[in-house]
Chain A
Amino acid sequence: MIGILRQWLAGLPAYLWGGWGAIASLLLLLAGWEFASQWLDPLALPDPRTVLATLHGLLTDGNAWSELGITGRRALTGFALSLGIGSALGMLAGLSMTASMMARPWVTVLVGTPPIGWLVLAMLWFGASDGTPVFTVFVACFPPIFIGAMQGVRTLDGQLREMAQAFALPPLQRLFDLYLPHVLSYLFPAWITALGVSWKVVVMAELLATADGVGAALAVTRSQLDTAGTLAWIVAVVGALLAVEYLLLEPVKREVERWRTLA
């Protein structure tokens, strides 16, 4: 365990340094935005510096942090619920051929139902409480996680299972050395997809259903025709998502899947 931690820490500087490539491409994107904004009406597309200044203003007067906190709480609650329940149910479904056969159409129904439909239902069920965005996020994140977990268990190599039996691996070792590493390699990408979904859906839910959070703030900037404010909130949400994904999930994923990337 200490060895893994040490390896992880040793790899961290190189990983963080690799972020420069992403920063360079984001800066190119900003240059493109700046270029486009020179040709367009500032009401349609303000230039990035104005938007960043607006965001800076929102952050320094303190409002943005609380709104982001509220939105983050809702998104992460829904995401965490989905992560726990979806992973567990997906793995259970994967264990049984019958269960996975049965579950497939349900998942198709879940995927096929538009999130906005869920949102309207949630508004009817939960009203203006936190329950509405949390539930909508949960439902939207559930299918990819469930499918990932199910696929992970279903695709477990029969040959490796046989090997584990031939070498008489005890149940706990089988779980930690065989099942979990394999299933995680399916679950992690699914979790990352779902995290992105959670941020997008929570803002949409807030826009329509709540009085606070980033979505509600966006509703205000829309009504005031404040394009710079709108873009500032979008930048804040995207920035928060990038930070969570690249500073938290991606390093963990790299460590868990190191065996895959080194080939």
Chain B
Amino acid sequence: MAHIGVTAPALELAGVGHAYRARTVLSGIDLHLPAGRIHALVGPSGCGKTTLLHLVAGLLPLQDGAIRNGFARSACMFQQPRLLPWKSALDNIALGLKARGVPRAARHAQARDQARRFGLDDTALAQYPQQLSGGMQSRVALARALVLAPDLLLLDEAFSALDVGLKAELYRQLLAEQARRPMAVLMITHDLMEAVRLAHAVWVMAPEPGRIATGFRFDDAPAQRTDAQVYARTAGLLDDATVRACFGLDAPAPAAPLALAAVGGLRC
């Protein structure tokens, strides 16, 4: 791929650690996320992945190590839609643009364009978040992030509370946006299958203290992956002894472990 070169911007984490009071929640995290790639951090609850994302987003002050964010623009989507209840869907989508000082007419036009791609019509855009279904709210939240045309998109368990149909739709929207321009995505999730479906690289985190235990690469384009492939790779990951240990699953590996490499996964 042409846009991945030495000069392309990237997100670099070196030796990042974090402690709340006396408890160390993250230690020695190294990560290299180049433009145009999707990296997933998976791990059990409490492994510090949300803390890591907050550090990257600048929501927490950095204590140890270094974060070099070479991307000009980043945007966030959280597990909850986190929309402003007193603003219409349109104004919610345009919120980040307003923060950037985009004039009203221009930001509404951009927000409307983005919303249309998400199947949000003018009626939905005029409504307040409470009037929208949960699925619509999630669409608005993703549109609010993507309308900023971020170089780096941070997803904090963004899809975990949604039903399968809606998940599939938002995956499509995300990958379509990513196909349009070289956007880097750092997503954290506890859903292995979601990571395997969307990511070029899956980093598995172990708890206490949070650290990256192992990682896998999938070099094919996420949009091309079939359900069968995703199931096979997920099963392969779940057969891995390190992964099982990270999630606290007992009895590693059945008699004949599936070869992850055979279904396109390479250990990093």
Contacts and interface: CB of A to CB of B under 8 A. Distances in A.
A and B, direct touch (CB closer than 8 Å): yes
Interface of A: 159-160, 162-163, 165-170, 173, 177-178, 181-182, 185, 258-260, 262-263
Given A167-B144, A169-B99, A263-B130, 16 more contacts: A159-B80, A159-B82, A160-B84, A163-B78, A166-B59, A167-B76, A167-B95, A168-B99, A170-B99, A178-B84, A182-B86, A185-B86, A259-B86, A260-B130, A262-B127, A262-B131
7 contacts: A162-B78, A163-B76, A178-B84, A181-B86, A259-B85, A259-B130, A260-B85
A177 B96 CA distance: 12
Contacts of A178: 84
Contacts of A185: 86
A188 to B, nearest CB: 12
Contacts of B86: 181-182, 185, 259-260
B57 interface: yes
B201 to A, nearest CB: 23
Contact of B128 (A167, A177, A259): A259
Interface residues of B, number: 23
Contacts of A182: 86
B95 A162 contact: no
B87 interface: yes
Contacts, number: 58
Nearest to A178: B84
B78 A159 contact: yes
A167 to B, nearest CB: 4
Given A167-B96, A259-B128, A262-B131, A177 B78 contact: no
Interface in B85-130: 85-87, 95-96, 98-100, 127-130
Interface of B: 57-59, 75-76, 78, 80, 82, 84-87, 95-96, 98-100, 127-131, 144
A259 B84 CA distance: 10
Contacts of A260: 85-86, 130
Contacts of B75: 166-167
Contacts of A177: 84, 87, 95, 98
Contacts of A162: 59, 78, 82
Nearest to A263: B130
Nearest to B129: A259
B82 A160 contact: yes
Given A160-B82, A177-B95, A262-B131, A166 B87 contact: no
Contacts of B144: 167
Given A170-B99, A181-B84, A165 B128 contact: no
A159 B98 CA distance: 19
Contact of A262 (B82, B87, B95, B128): B128
Nearest to B95: A167
B84 A166 contact: no
A262 B130 contact: yes
A263 B99 contact: no
Nearest to B128: A259
Contacts of B82: 159-160, 162-163
A182 B84 CA distance: 9
A162 B128 CA distance: 20
Given A259-B87, A260-B85, A166 B76 contact: yes
Contacts of B129: 259
A92 B144 CA distance: 32
A263 B131 contact: yes
